[in-house]
Structure 1
Amino acid sequence: MKVLVTGATGLIGRQVVQQLREAGFEVRIASRHPEPASDAVLLPAPDAPAAAFTAITQDVRHVVHCAALNNDRDASEADYLSANADLTGRLARAAAVQAGGRFVYLSSIRAVAGPGFSGTIDEKTPPAPQCAYGRSKREGEIRTLDAYASRPSDTTALRLPPVYGEGMKGNLATLMRLGGMPVNLPLPAALFSGMRSLMSCEAAARTVVYLLSRPQPLRPVYVACDLPPLPISAVLGAFRQGFGLSLRLSAVPAGPIRAAATLLGKGKAWDAMTATQICDPSLLVAEGWVPQTDTLERLAELARRHRSGTAQPR
């Protein structure tokens, strides 16, 4: 049984490919920039001829769409929509005709809530994206579901929290860099008071394999994460532990720090750092999926490998 995986060289995509092959699936890899010596095929551009999407989905049973534009400060709203919505819609339409199996679209909780949102996120949370990336991922969800309107149980949008692993970007990469700073000055505990749901790239890939393999029909949306949610201070502490450093926190009141951040134009950054965003994967759990529960140990090991230079090349 052949599975098309887009974005196969990315943080999650490469794990999806590995775990699918270990599960006995044949994999077709698609990339926007395939290397000459690789077995990857070219992922069509959003404005490519229809024949290109027909060709890439021919003779495959399932499609896992991991390719996305993210963490690009130079990208415009139009760039995000082109990469994450236009391309997704065209690929989904071709797959709905060509592939008789399932289409798993890797989405994000940013399709539902912005970084400053505090609360619990599940499948029933009303979508209210607050950034170009989030809006484009939500539009990608809509276009995928539209493409599979005649067979809705064959597709799903898998909404993920921040994903960690070798090669990660964004706020988690920044937090790990902070954890590796060889200074041991007390850091204000109030700055790291928020709670977060996270997910390892391995667990995200395992969830994809689970969704392709389970006999029950798919729901339109699933929310997945590791359990339990963690204080940001604990995440930073795990990184510090992996780097062989200790974490010292000071009890500076939140008010003065929040006021200073606002004066410096960093109010939104403060809100994002201190927000509590908890994902609820109860639907997946009720259907037989098992969450990963060793997040702190994995974060410490990630930092340990980075420190020793044994992280696997991408």
Structure 2
Amino acid sequence: MTAPLVALTGSTGFIGRHLLTALTARGYRVRVLLRRPLELPPGISGAVVGDLARSQNMAAALSGADAVVHSAGLAHAMSGAPEDDYRTFNTEATRGLAQAAARARVRRFVFLSSIRAQVGPSAAGILTEADAPAPTDPYGRSKLAAEEALAGIDIDYVSLRPVLVYGPGQKGNMAALMRLAAAPYPLPLGGLAGRRSLVSVESLSDAVDAVLRAPGPLRRPLIVAEAEALRVPEMIASLRAGLSRRPGLVPMPQVLLDAALALTGRSELRERLGSSLVARTAGLEALGWTAPVETRSGLEALARAGG
């Protein structure tokens, strides 16, 4: 039997690179859509050069494809683009690609959305897909609008909402946390009590495989997270364990930590470091999925491998 053909966007990005490797290793044939002609990554079944914003070459990209995995987009942590740019790259490009996939009779469209389509940088309770989405920034609103666009297209789709993703080549908040863990001195973060859910690129790739194989129709958003939500001190301790170091964490009264962050112009770190965002994967669990990576050991392995 011929292996399923997956059309993958975003294969040169942080998540897309890992998806390309993981899908190929699991036996899928992978065709990548590239914005410019580059040397083809190993293990793919072909490539098409095109521009998602202009929907060029979509017929060629999707011809014969069994599924689309759409991981390309404008990331909130990498750009100060205005809301209309997010709408162009995250919403309208997704809509156009899904419409083209429907015309090509692609069986399933897997959209890499974000937990930010559902919530802001923190949440008071434990998030599930049953909670009404309330994004707080242009990035999150553009991802939610893309999900809503998919719901209006005649194709079996699933919108994956991963929490903060970690893995080799990570950027943004996780890269900053890795730099903190690698610092040679003790850190005054031992008292931070907020818990945050994380997901490794390995677990996210496994979730993509699970929804590609799941019987349909799906047509809904699904949160992707690993089982245990950790405090920032626990994350740093795990990373430092991977570096064969002691945790080196000391508690500091919150008022002093807030003052120190304010003095260094990093007050925004207070919410990112100290607040909670805990998510549960009820929808994926109903499909029989559980994260294959335990977060503590995943962070240790990441640090051991050099981040």
Instruction: With the length of structure 1 as denominator, give the TM-score of the two structures.
Output: 0.87
Q: Does 1:45 align with 2:46?
A: no
Q: Does 1:61 align with 2:39?
A: no
* Distance in 1 of aligned mates of 2:171 and 2:221: 25
Q: Which amino acid aligns with 1:66?
A: S
Shift of the 223–231 alpha-carbon distance from structure 1 to 2, 3 Å rule, reads same
Shift of the 54–40 alpha-carbon distance from structure 1 to 2, 3 Å rule, reads closer
- Which of 162, 165, 183 is 1:160 aligned to? 162
Q: Deviations over 1:123-179 (max 9, x none)?
A: 11211111221111111111222223xx4xx11101000111111111111000110
Give the 5 Å matches for 1:149-228: 151=155, 154-183=156-185, 185-190=186-191, 192-228=192-228
SS in 2 for 1:40: strand
Contact 1:116 1:268 in 2 (8 A): no
1:6 counterpart residue number: 9
Give the 5 Å matches for 1:1-314: 1-38=4-41, 39-49=46-56, 52-70=57-75, 71-148=77-154, 151=155, 154-183=156-185, 185-190=186-191, 192-258=192-258, 261=261, 266-306=266-306
1:260 Cα offset (Å): 5.5
Q: Deviations over 1:52-109 (max 9, x none)?
A: 3223222211101011211223422222221111111100110011133000101110
1:21 Cα offset (Å): 2.5
When structure 1 is superposed on structure 2, of 156-165 and 209-218 the one drifting more is: 209-218
Contact 1:29 1:41 in 2 (8 A): yes
Shift of the 42–270 alpha-carbon distance from structure 1 to 2, 3 Å rule, reads same
* Distance in 2 of aligned mates of 1:193 and 1:206: 30
Contact 1:196 1:229 in 2 (8 A): yes
Contact 1:65 1:106 in 2 (8 A): yes
The number of equivalent residue pairs is: 299
Instruction: With the length of structure 2 as denominator, give the TM-score of the two structures.
Output: 0.89
SS in 2 for 1:249: coil
Q: Which amino acid aligns with 2:11?
A: A
* Distance in 2 of aligned mates of 1:87 and 1:195: 34
Which structure 1 residue ranges, 5 or more long, are not aligned? none
* Distance in 2 of aligned mates of 1:175 and 1:78: 30
Q: Deviations over 1:166-203 (max 9, x none)?
A: 111111110001101112x341323x322111111111
SS in 1 for 2:32: strand
How well do the aligned residues superpose, as a CA RMSD in angstroms? 2.1
Q: Deviations over 1:185-230 (max 9, x none)?
A: 341323x322111111111111111111122431411112111111
* Distance in 1 of aligned mates of 2:40 and 2:292: 35
Q: Which amino acid aligns with 1:69?
A: L
Contact 1:62 1:100 in 2 (8 A): yes
* Distance in 1 of aligned mates of 2:262 and 2:227: 33
* Distance in 2 of aligned mates of 1:265 and 1:180: 22
Contact 1:5 1:30 in 2 (8 A): yes
* Distance in 2 of aligned mates of 1:219 and 1:205: 19
Q: Which amino acid aligns with 2:22?
A: Q
* Distance in 2 of aligned mates of 1:155 and 1:18: 22
Which structure 2 residue ranges, 5 or more long, are not aligned? none
